[in-house]
Amino acid sequence: MQTQTQTQTPAPAPAPALVYSAELVEEGGVYTLVVTDRIHGTVQTSVVPQRAMDKLPYFLSLLNSRQSAAFR
């Protein structure tokens, strides 16, 4: 009598899904943040003041810092 041994390979992990996308658009010196909800197909826009634009590198560094580890 012969027996067959089958090995199952685990299913590949699903590809990451794009949930939100954001663009910062400059037109005539005015900055507009455009956020697209890819799940619901909605778009929200907000004018970004120059003062916030000047601090954008700082805000991004906060997101990447160890101090924000509690938010991850």
Instruction: Tell me whether strands 30-37 and 42-48 are parallel, antiparallel or unpaired.
Output: antiparallel
pLDDT single digits (tens) 37-63: 999 999 999 999 999 999 999 988 988
Entry pTM: 0.65
What mean pLDDT value characterizes the chain?
Answer: 87
Give me the mean pLDDT over the 25-32 stretch.
96
Tell me the domain boundaries of the chain. Answer: 20-65
d(CA 6, CA 16): 30
Q: In what order do the strands lie in the sheet with 30-37?
A: 20-27, 30-37, 42-48
> Is the per-residue pLDDT at 30 higher than 80?
yes
What is the structure's pLDDT at 1? Answer: 60
Q: For 1-72, where are the E strands, in sequence order?
A: 20-27, 30-37, 42-48
